[in-house]
A and B are shown apart, each in its own frame.
Chain A
Amino acid sequence: MSTQTAPAGSLLTAHDLRKAYGPTAALDGAHFSIHPGEVVAVMGPSGSGKSTLLHCLAGIVTPDSGTITYNGRELSAMSDGERSALRRSEFGFVFQFGQLVPELSCVENVALPLRLNGTKRKEAERAALHWMERLEVDDLAKKRPGEVSGGQGQRVAVARSLVTGPRVLFADEPTGALDSLNGERVMQLLTEAARSTNAAVVLVTHEARVAAYSDREIVVRDGKSRDMEPAL
């Protein structure tokens, strides 16, 4: 099935995205769509353009051409400030590494997006603790990122990505730096939490094991995307 026409009821869609870094084309006519509550895995080999697709969908990077529509609004028509506000309030992010602020304690890290939205500290930390409990890391609240394990840190990052109640969660290789056991647990908690809030999840991975947590998979190769046929 081609993704050239966005299915009805899509929350986030992209059409004919092109993006080049210098002479290298990272995206070359990619398409994408996702519904609320849906988990879509974006797969592909290294350098295929999957992270660039995620960055474009999240409004972090502006594509050279093509359109991205979120909830009926054209992303390219928004200013940088509006896109930042969108990311703060409607989107959540989990990256492979380097995302927790090392100086802040874990609970402060989780509360950070709320505080950026203007929520008072105590209230933000209360909400943060709630999500840390759900991600089973509430006992790390006072610890700094440097004092916790990789798997624990990643669960803290997931809690942070969900604390604002995002409608879309972008996860770029969220288990890339974890062993399989920790990776499985993080994916389990992430997808459960997302489904409980009806958040859509854009999951960039190159691991089939991780992609197995998704409802649907698309493959990006040489900057082009296509839906993966479901296994018979």
Chain B
Amino acid sequence: MNVWFRDLAMGARFAVTGGREGWVRTVLTAVGVGLGVALLLVTTAVPNAIGARDKREDARTDLRFSVTQMPKADDTVVVAMADTEFRGTSIRGRLMQPEGDKAPLPPGISAYPKPGEMVVSPALARLLGAEDSALLRDRLDARIVGTIGEAGLTGPAELMYIKGVAGLHPTGYPVERIDHFGNAPEPEPLDPILLLLTLIVVIVLLMPVAVFIATAVRFGGERRDRRLAALRLIGADGRMVRRIAAGEAASGALLGLLVGAGVFLVVRQAASKLELMGISVFPQDIDPAPALVAVVAFAVPAAAVAVTLFALRGVVIEPLGVVRTAKPSRRRLWWRLVLPLAGLALLYPMLGQGNENGEFNQYMVTAGVVLILVGVTALIPWLVEAVVTRLGSGPVAWQLAVRRLQLSSGTAARLVNGIAVAVAGAIALQMLFAGIEGDYTKATGEDTERAQMTVNVPASTETSTLTAQLQQALAKTPGVASVTPPLTSAGVGEKPHDANEGASFTSGSCAALREVAKLPSCKDGDVFAVRGASYDDSTDKLAKPGTTLYVDPGYDKVKGAAVPFKVPAGLKDARPRELPTGGDRGGFLVTPSALSEAAGATMSGDLYLKLDPSNPDASDEVRTAAAQFGPLINSHSMVAMERVGRFDSIRTGLFVGATCVLLLIGASLLVSQLEQLRERRKLLSALVAFGTRRRTLSASVLWQTAVPVALGLALATAVGLTLGAVLLKMTAQTVAVDWASVLAMAGVGAGVVLVVTFLSLPPLMRLMRPEGLRTE
């Protein structure tokens, strides 16, 4: 055992001694491993970060989603939702009116702001202080008296305000009375397909990192082999040199762990200043689970040692130098094919499972996808070797490249492994995303041609006056092209309480009513019944002249205004029309003269706005103008399509992760490339000495990279398409290939290699200087 320790320690010493060359090699390994470790730690911290965000979000939940309101007490507070948007970014807004000394405080604040005051998140404070935020300052014009603490925010970049108000009446969502915060509903379980998607995203992102770490620990391999040969010369036997190599690899990896921990801490600290796709996290939230940290801390050095010993398996280190058999044995295909085939076999039982048959077996999915992707790394060396041995001679640059590939295709294959795995995974995921996108993207029905915004005025005795005034004000607001005449609406039933039949009750001028129905003719005093609207079979039953209906009837424990309305004898028929907000509306249309004041007081108001597309601030102008008429007036920007939030966040996660992974792999490629060039410094100088053009050598380096990259990407594309097809079959989707995105993925991979080759040209030029010939 002592011998073991002695040899391992000697290896560790070699990792940090040996002058500049030794240090450079160790630093490269440590940086390479460190970047991989940092990415692993960040990835393993993501679930905790999301969990911490969700926990704080749950703790501040203030909506009860209940139809009944609790009685006023000294431990209650009335909360109104007053969210808004500024330049496309959401701002969480709450109006709060504590009703007693014991009113619960929301997380993150120590006292309620008084009416006319507000507390804001640090990010919102900065935004309000910005020079070009005048529109937002006009909208949120209360005096800032404090800052919302971290406990009340999901992330450091969240925009949020809590404003003190008086005179709020809890009428149900969005104005409610509560006696505590944190009444979060049970989260919905993640849809099986989304869970599958998440799993694949994580595997696809982590696999290239693992490949990258395996490459990083092989940096400086040739030089190490020569050093080991020198040790053989002075009496070390074969086993000893392997132990020494293991010690050297392990210490490089351990140093890498330290670098990784350092990079992780820096990234963690910097995270508070970053916001990606609307998500920001507090540094303390990026907290990987201890078990996962332990796995990384153990697995990385262990993998480093395993990879080193594996790499030494075909090398005989003799006292007079390193001997590699002149003709290495041909790579065998069968066991390389076993990996992806075993992966496919694991996924096979889940084909056609879809969304309806419960969850996918996570272990089988993980193992299957990992095996298929590992299969790529196993197949590439075979493919590169099989192809390059058949490549013939061409120009000198081509010949130099091909011969080098024929002699050591393994090195070249290792270079592209990471890229190939990333591309294969990305193609499969892209196919899966494209296939299931339809299920998670739905048309909102909103007609953005007819209107781009709606403004809603909550029901009150002043609704119609307020809506009319608002219409006039908005018509003059910069960026507004037109505003429809005001419409007000409520529900109507045949009984004052617990009506069996219910329909819409809409009021407005003839012009306004034409926005929601096709009217045969119209004059003030007319009342229409809109028959044949979707999901409406009540209008026919209610639209009987002489019948008394009740506007705003009560239901269950909720008391309504129940204002009587007699269906007039001259009731006209109208046909439904698609609304700007989607769908259509049946029920009754009432012109102003036919509407009683009492009924009008129960109705909420709506305005539809067309905006001037040339004014980028138009929607913010509208929100600010509308806010002057009351904090509960809701301005909504219309969109034609919307996606399920979780689908979007998985896609965002993939994008962010893929960018990090590609940068990492690009960096590793560059380091490996430079190292290979440095190893050949003397030869390059000799070639230049006898007149080889530099462009010939540059072209040979390019060919030497391009050939394995092209082969690797071709294989990656084939495997990616197969995996994508299998995943689509598993989700019971039609298999379709979006060739544009496949080409884009392969193109990105090729682009990374081209950039790396381009970046390695200046050092190549330097290495070709005659100084390389000097031996003294």
Contact = CB atoms under 8 A, between A and B. Distances in A.
Interface of A: 46-47, 51, 55, 58, 60-61, 81, 84-89, 91-93, 95-99, 101-104, 108, 112-113, 115-116, 121, 144, 146-147, 160-161, 172
Contacts of A121: 393
A98 B683 contact: yes
B403 A101 contact: yes
B104 to A, nearest CB: 75
Interface string B386-400: 000000010010011
Contacts of B691: 84-89, 91, 113, 116
B693 A46 contact: no
B404 interface: yes
Contacts of B403: 101, 103-104, 108
A47 B776 CA distance: 6
Contact of B326 (A46, A86, A113, A146): A146
Contacts of A55: 689, 770, 773
A124 B137 CA distance: 80
A60 B690 CA distance: 9
A103 B400 contact: yes
Nearest to A160: B690
A115 B686 contact: no
A116 B404 contact: no
B121 interface: no
Contacts of B688: 60, 84
A5 B326 CA distance: 53
Contacts of B686: 93, 95, 98-99
A95 B406 CA distance: 26
**A-B complex: 4 closest residue pairs judged by Cβ atoms:** A88-B691, A103-B403, A87-B691, A98-B682
A93 B683 CA distance: 13
A116 B689 contact: no
Interface in B114-155: none
A92 B686 CA distance: 11
Size class of the B contact interface (CB-based, 8 Å) = 20 to 34
18 contacts: A51-B774, A60-B770, A60-B773, A84-B691, A85-B691, A92-B690, A93-B689, A98-B683, A98-B686, A99-B686, A103-B403, A108-B399, A116-B696, A144-B326, A146-B326, A147-B326, A161-B690, A172-B773
Nearest to A112: B396
B614 interface: no
B396 A46 contact: no
Contacts of B775: 51, 96
A101 B691 CA distance: 14
B362 interface: no
Given A98-B682, A98-B683, A103 B689 contact: no
A92 B404 CA distance: 24
Contact of A115 (B396, B406, B687, B774): B396
A145 B555 CA distance: 94
A103 B404 CA distance: 5
A186 to B, nearest CB: 17
Contact of B689 (A87, A89, A144, A146): A87
B692 interface: yes
Nearest to A88: B691
Contacts of A93: 686, 689-690
A79 to B, nearest CB: 13
A121 B775 CA distance: 33
Contacts of B696: 116
Interface in B692-713: 692-693, 696
Contacts of B693: 81, 84, 116
Interface in B335-372: none
A103 B692 contact: no
A85 B693 CA distance: 8
Contact of A58 (B393, B404, B683, B689): B689
A161 B773 CA distance: 16
Given A87-B690, A103-B404, A113-B691, 10 more contacts: A47-B776, A55-B773, A58-B689, A60-B770, A81-B693, A93-B686, A93-B690, A103-B403, A113-B690, A116-B696
Nearest to B693: A84
B633 interface: no
Contacts of B770: 55, 60-61
B434 interface: no
Contacts of B396: 112, 115-116
B579 interface: no
A164 B689 CA distance: 14
A64 to B, nearest CB: 14
Contact of A101 (B393, B400, B774, B776): B400
B473 interface: no
A46 B682 CA distance: 19
Contacts of A85: 691
A86 B693 CA distance: 12
Contacts of A161: 690
Contact of B776 (A51, A87, A97): A51
B59 interface: no
Interface string B402-436: 01101100000000000000000000000000000
Contacts of B776: 46-47, 51
Nearest to A113: B690
Nearest to B396: A115
Interface in B233-286: none
Nearest to A105: B403
A214 B91 CA distance: 89
Contacts of A86: 691
Contacts of B406: 103
Contacts of A47: 776
A17 to B, nearest CB: 15
A92 B776 CA distance: 22
Contact of A88 (B682, B690, B774): B690
A50 to B, nearest CB: 10
Nearest to B692: A116
Contact of A91 (B404, B690, B773): B690
A103 B690 contact: no
Contacts of B692: 84, 88, 112, 116
Interface in B643-699: 682-683, 686-693, 696
Nearest to B392: A121
B705 to A, nearest CB: 15
A116 B396 CA distance: 7
A61 B689 CA distance: 9
A60 B684 CA distance: 13
Nearest to A62: B770
Nearest to B683: A98
B188 to A, nearest CB: 60
Contacts of B774: 51
A35 to B, nearest CB: 23
A103 B388 CA distance: 13
A92 B690 CA distance: 7
Contacts of B682: 97-98
Counting chain B CB atoms within 10 Å of each CB, the highest count among A85, A88, A98 belongs to A98
Contacts of B683: 98-99, 101-102
Interface string B757-769: 0000000000000
Nearest to A89: B691
A147 B691 CA distance: 26
